[in-house]
Structure 1
Amino acid sequence: MEKCRPLQLLLVFACGVCVPLAASSGPDDRQITDPKSVVSPSNPAAHPASIDDLYYTRSMSGAAWSPDGKEIAFTSNMAGRPNLWKVNAKGGWPIQLTQSDDRQYSAVWSPDGKWIVYQQDRGGDELWDLYAIPSEGGEVINLTNTPDIREEGPVWSHDGKTIAFGYKPKEGSQYDIALLDWITHKVHKLTNEQQPGYSWNAVAWSPDDKTIYANRVNPPFTDADIYSIDVSTGKTENLTPHQGTVRYLASSLAPNGQTVLLTSDAKGGYMNVALLDIASRKSTWVTDSKWEASSGSFSPDGKRFSYVINGDGLTDAYIADTSSNQAEKIDLAQGLNSFSGNPNEFAPQSDRVIVSHEASNQPGDLWVYDLAKRHEEQLTFSAVASLSATPLPPAQIVHYKTYDGKTISALLWMPFNLKRDESNPALVLPHGGPTGQVVDYWSPRVAALTSRGYICIAPNPRGSTGYGLDFQKANFQDLGGGDLKDEIAAVDFLKTTGYVDPKKVGITGGSYGGFMTLMAIGKAPDIWGAAVEEYGIINWSTMLKSSDPSLNEYLKAVLGDPDKNRKVYEEDSPITYIRNEKAPLLVLQGGNDPRVPKEEAQQVVEILRKEGRVVDVHYYPNEGHGFEKRENQIDAIKRTIAWFDQYLMGKSGTPNDPTAQKGR
């Protein structure tokens, strides 16, 4: 995630899920799924997964090699909060480096190996500061200490004297690049963006530390360029000038400083990997796919580079030879296989890479892959042991036609032991974004629901990434219009399987998924039996007054000017339709959310209470956009399950499974 900050600026908080790879070479070749081919597997050992087991299973992310290649730092919530840990690269018991109630990401070692720098916010407010801790442990230093400025994504210079990072004032809409002097801790801005909502992010320093290579991205993430920036003067040079909306995104610089590894959709609107020769500005394409390819890093010796291909939400990791561009897929189990490394997944000796693997029924872990031996060793062990004795339904990918003939991909989980008698409950899970995609992440939320008998389907409607730029832009000025119809078409697909009771269909999602939940129960009130929305948008106009300015620019890029397009804002806001809803609604909201402020949730609850509807709300203080603290994650899923159990299954509030005392 460290190399993809522009995506993090969006409203995305998508749940992660798993999918077997579709037998197609690209989005155009997807075959429509026969609903009658969907089956509920038989498993006499099936039982509800313990909530505690699911949420005490740890998360692992943001790995970073030490300069000597002997240790790896990473972020984990082993202690219930995303804090920094490190482990011997050969394996062993991890050591907690930091202990904080707040979340910590983007760890990176100083070139001399003595320090680790990372970002941390306060109560989920996303106003990150940069911190440093001695790599052997010790006193933490706040390097920036600016409560009203975001500082994130640190990148060290080779000489260890300077750190480049992303910089945005709380009330600003643009991300710039700033430099921090390691000795004095003084900060000065390197870029000075004037276009509202545009974002700069530093990718790499040149070998002599005189130049920084960076990406500049527009608000809706439809256009981007790669720049070189003179460190002494701040002068910028566009290395990828072009006409129209094309994305060029650098991810790594070759050790000799002559070549940039990049991702671009210049080939027909589909993201592919290329090598850019800096001197000639000529690009050489490495991949030619309509599935989404993403570039990685050069190895420190320059002999190899990495990339990932996302085929309908399932990813495979590749290592390519620099001299020939021929690539070899890393042979890991089916699932979400990608690289993890800040700033590089390759070990300093270029002999190993860090890869991550997960699937819908397999929590994510980090692995070290030996390039010569072509062999991987598991580095972290995230799952609680009892999960291995709990059968979890795997996901499958399905394709269906929506109202206008477009093909929609969705991830479907069929619980065990269901009868095909139109009696079972089902849930639609709209993802965050809208510029996002449901992919093959482990999701304790989905595992909790499916193991309790809920059929779950998570569509990738128009507006999603992963299917080309035209598809991504297909919901512009139509939020909650065509994309909502794509979600409703998933309900029609489920009904045709013969498993689902049409009166027992619910919907739940967060962020844009929360918006979609509100839009669904307002515009199509007769479809839904119950709903749970998390930190969703009720009114785009009030969002513009209270949300982070950078997100506001994204919103204006998608919906248009709020004065000239007032009708669009009204038609695309759930507040226009919410009084039509019939489904009992539970609202869950972080009290410190900078993206979708709690005022949005308050509006929903106030309106529906005045209408005399069934509505409940719970706020989580010191949580931002999404719930990071383990006790709040557990509380949220318990409330969600109880809500659907009551209004879809007709159950009382008393748990009826043997895991109740372990934290249902």
Structure 2
Amino acid sequence: MPLADAAGARDTPQPLVAHGCWYPSADPTGERVAFICDRTGVPQLWTGPVHGSVDGPDLHLLDADPDPVTEVAWSPDGRWIAYTVAPGGGELTRVLCVRPDGTGRRIVAGADAGSSAYLGCWTRDGSAVAVTVAEPPPALGRLVREDAAAPEREAFGELPRELPPDWADRDGQATLLGGAHRGEVGPRPGGASPDGAARDRLGAYLVDPDGLASPVLVAAESGAATLRVCDVSPDGRLALVRRGPRGRREAVVLRTADLGTGSVLRVADGDPWIGRFSPDGRTVWLRSDHEREFAALLAAGLDDEGRRTGLSVLAERDGSDLELLAFAEDGHTAALAWNVRGASEFQTLGLPAAVPVSVGGGDAAGAAAPSGEPAGPPDGGNGTARWSGASAPWGGGNGTGPFGRATASWSEAAGAAPWGGATGTAPPQDVDLPHEVVTRIGRAGPGGLVLALSGSQRRPGVWWLPRGAAPARTPWSSRDEDAVPPGRPAVRPAPLRPRARDGLVLGGWYYRAPGRAEGRPAPCVIHLHGGPEEQERPVFEPLYHELTGRGLDVFAPDVRGSSGYGRSFVDADLGTGRYAAIADVADCAAHVVLSGRADPTRLAVMGRSYGGYLTLASLVWHPDLFRTGVAVCGMSDFGTFFAGTEPWIAESAAHKYGHPERDRELLRALSPMSRVDELRVPLLAVHGEHDTNVPPGESEQIVRAARERGHAAELLMLRDEGHEFRRADNRRLFRRAAADWLERHLTG
């Protein structure tokens, strides 16, 4: 769908006093970067040079529309920038493309009412961008022309009872791409979702942004909205797809010719960009926790059909997850970000120019994983895995991409890795970072990488990492001195490791209000993150600085179910383990009280999303522990949550919380609404009006129930926001309203 050209490239707004920049994607030369920036108050698409002035003429706003941008990807040929936007700030997103000069702006997926789309990878030649489209379950059935042949009618299913009202306006004849169940990598369509309704079907397509070629179906999935095309091999034969619900993600290698499955391997949750094919397509490198507690860098050998021939460990760390994985433009250098107790450690690693030794056999059938633990480095520590002496067949003729453009040929790269040492033989190269956490890694031409960094005392920014040099801040990223308002110094948190009542060691970060002497107990807010698979990180959080600036301490714990502590810790809250997670909140409060940090008579609990649920649960399970609570976008009743959320959210949540039919009694018992009579304290609920992940009714019903029982309860509904609060004015309103509420009830 063509759109008007963006005027922003010719009218660059002045920045706010402080702003963040994140999600960088560089052009093929590495000289310019597309990124998301909220300097106008809304996260929008910008481009700028890696060198230059803060407000130079080369800094451009490419899309001035007020819809928040969430993802960005510059095409490998430099012709297009693809990005995902959230219309109205809601959760139903769409994918757009625009030329680097701001012309040619168009919607390529997600324009239909009720549908949603998000980005996958670009093909290596830039001829197509992968998109995943979630289509709501049609009450009409599949669309087939009445004059369709009998075999076609049988394959596509029954005719719809009536056609959509805009059907007559469509150009040409409609065709169901791929036929029934073609490319299905998840459960077959037609099954029941957890709430008993028909499942949404997700389709992953390769789309030509020029509109000269028809979309090509790559894969389909029913249920959890996790389907993403992460890479297409240089010759176009294979696609790497991530699929599956939370806690059960899989990497699937598909053949693009027949959409057949070559191999399947478990991969870690978290960042969806799980890996990449080698230049010859004979190896796929993956960030995976296959048969292990923590995610590592694995290399899987592939045959001509995409079946796995071997599996080896390239890099691993005891007690630390490989959190982010990216690859330099040469195809032989990996960039690794390790999660070390919440902070990031960054490395580059030359990749082997050889086929890995088979470990435990292959999976010629395409589904079964090899038995046994993948072999680690010979010395048992950080480093590379064992490799055979045979050279990888990097050669071969030029292939042809899915849209007919010739892909590049590759030659063996047995020389030096770009960051030093021979490929596959040198130890990883450590890179010192100016911030605590890496949030994204991108290629920046043949000479380097771009990093999105964040820290507890700095706003998110983009840094350029040239070959052999230290990271350099881009000129348009916010200055460190602009991190917080004057008079409220940024607080660097201290790590804490509370112990739960059953002996499990938890984690978290404690923010002490400036000016308070050690040993003086303070009013304290226990803040609970979402997920529950998210993790508290030492990144810039304006809410915490708002609270500490008012004299309130903040403890942000990682209760069981959080990521960063291994697979067993993530799964420790499944089913009846949810009761232990609720108890963890009380144990974290006890830890900060007994250690002398917090005043036991002035405690509050607050959280967002799952943390909002845990806030409500803590208030009704531990009614005498907290003086007040602030629940943000939290579930108050699992029954109404499953009935009202998006079907793919329900599908994914069933694995984590319980099935709404089979586990009905457990979910009812775990729902705060079932114990609302135990509520004793004032409650503030905050919600985005367009939230379809956790519908606003979840906050409305708990506030109504609290008022009916005589408790002070308020609801702040944020306009033009969904599950995430993205607009600067709304974020500011939320922070001040929450801080006012907590300050009044803890210090008043």
Query: Which bin holds the TM-score, normalised by the shorter protein?
Result: 0.7 to 0.9
1:74 equivalenced with 2:98 (yes/no): no
CA distance in 1, matches of 2:619, 2:744: 18
Alignment of 1:45-444 (within 5 A): 57-92=18-53, 93=55, 94-138=59-103, 140-144=105-109, 145-171=111-137, 172-173=199-200, 175-182=202-209, 183-184=211-212, 186-194=214-222, 196-197=223-224, 199-217=226-244, 219-221=245-247, 223-240=248-265, 250-279=274-303, 281-285=309-313, 286-322=315-351, 323=423, 324=425, 326-333=427-434, 335-340=436-441, 345-349=442-446, 351-374=447-470, 376-383=472-479, 385=481, 387=483, 390-419=488-517, 424-444=522-542
Distance 1:382 1:225, change over 3 A: same
| 1:386 Cα deviation after fit | 5.1
Distance 1:573 1:414, change over 3 A: same
CA distance in 2, matches of 1:555, 1:316: 31
CA distance in 2, matches of 1:601, 1:55: 32
- Give the AA of the match of 2:286: L
CA distance in 2, matches of 1:384, 1:288: 32
Contact 1:367 1:380 survives alignment (8 Å): no
CA deviations 1:170-200 (Å, max 9, x no partner) are: 4444543122233247445332325x33732
Q: Which residue number in structure 1 is paired with residue 356 of structure 2? A: none
- Give the AA of the match of 1:266: H
**Aligned partner of residue 100 in structure 1, secondary structure:** coil
Distance 1:333 1:551, change over 3 A: same
- Give the AA of the match of 2:311: S
- Give the AA of the match of 1:578: V
CA deviations 1:267-319 (Å, max 9, x no partner) are: 53221112222235322212142211135122222331111110111111110
CA distance in 2, matches of 1:200, 1:446: 34
| 1:628 Cα deviation after fit | 0.9
| 1:563 Cα deviation after fit | 2.3
CA distance in 2, matches of 1:295, 1:647: 41
- Give the AA of the match of 1:330: V
Contact 1:426 1:505 survives alignment (8 Å): yes
CA distance in 1, matches of 2:450, 2:79: 21
CA deviations 1:576-620 (Å, max 9, x no partner) are: 122211121111111110100011111111111111111011111
CA distance in 1, matches of 2:444, 2:607: 38
1:595 equivalenced with 2:693 (yes/no): yes
Runs of 4+ in 1 over 4 A off after TM superposition: 171-174, 383-390, 419-423
CA distance in 2, matches of 1:80, 1:59: 10
- Give the AA of the match of 1:257: G
- Give the AA of the match of 1:264: S
| 1:337 Cα deviation after fit | 3.2
Q: Which residue number in structure 1 is paired with residue 714 of structure 2? A: 616
CA distance in 1, matches of 2:469, 2:324: 23
- Give the AA of the match of 2:39: M
- Give the AA of the match of 1:206: S
Percent of paired sites with the same residue: 21
Moved more, 273-282 or 518-527: 273-282
Alignment of 1:626-641 (within 5 A): 626-641=724-739
Distance 1:283 1:294, change over 3 A: farther
| 1:255 Cα deviation after fit | 2.5
Distance 1:499 1:412, change over 3 A: closer
CA distance in 2, matches of 1:460, 1:227: 31
Contact 2:23 2:440 survives alignment (8 Å): no
CA deviations 1:61-87 (Å, max 9, x no partner) are: 211111222210001111111100011
CA deviations 1:13-64 (Å, max 9, x no partner) are: xxxxxxxxxxxxxxxxxxxxxxxxxxxxxxxxxxxxxxxxx99532222111
Which has more radius of gyration? 2
Contact 2:631 2:685 survives alignment (8 Å): yes
| CA RMSD of superposed structures (Å) | 2.5
CA distance in 2, matches of 1:506, 1:273: 41
Distance 1:107 1:249, change over 3 A: closer
Distance 1:492 1:375, change over 3 A: closer
Contact 1:164 1:179 survives alignment (8 Å): yes
| 1:151 Cα deviation after fit | 1.3
CA distance in 2, matches of 1:476, 1:595: 20
Q: Which residue number in structure 1 is paired with residue 355 of structure 2? A: none
CA distance in 2, matches of 1:241, 1:615: 45
Distance 1:384 1:415, change over 3 A: same
Contact 2:461 2:473 survives alignment (8 Å): no
| 1:248 Cα deviation after fit | 11
CA distance in 1, matches of 2:471, 2:220: 46
CA distance in 2, matches of 1:137, 1:160: 18
CA deviations 1:340-362 (Å, max 9, x no partner) are: 3xxxx22221x211123222112
Distance 1:239 1:600, change over 3 A: closer
Contact 1:152 1:167 survives alignment (8 Å): yes
CA distance in 1, matches of 2:518, 2:76: 60
Distance 1:450 1:125, change over 3 A: same
**Aligned partner of residue 474 in structure 1, secondary structure:** helix
Moved more, 420-429 or 567-576: 420-429
**Aligned partner of residue 89 in structure 2, secondary structure:** coil
Distance 1:589 1:564, change over 3 A: same
**Aligned partner of residue 537 in structure 1, secondary structure:** coil
Alignment of 1:423-572 (within 5 A): 424-478=522-576, 480-572=578-670
**Aligned partner of residue 101 in structure 2, secondary structure:** coil
Contact 2:609 2:632 survives alignment (8 Å): yes
CA deviations 1:514-549 (Å, max 9, x no partner) are: 101111111111011111111100001101111011
Contact 2:17 2:482 survives alignment (8 Å): no
- Give the AA of the match of 1:220: R
Contact 1:366 1:379 survives alignment (8 Å): no
Moved more, 147-156 or 419-428: 419-428
Moved more, 550-559 or 367-376: 367-376
Contact 2:80 2:98 survives alignment (8 Å): yes
- Give the AA of the match of 1:191: A
Q: Which residue number in structure 2 is paired with residue 48 of structure 1? A: none
Q: Which has the higher contact order (CA 8 A, sep 6+)?
A: 1
Distance 1:383 1:146, change over 3 A: farther
Distance 1:454 1:381, change over 3 A: same
Question: Where does the alignment leave 5 or more consecutive residues of structure 2 unmatched?
Answer: 1-14, 138-198, 352-422
**Aligned partner of residue 401 in structure 1, secondary structure:** coil
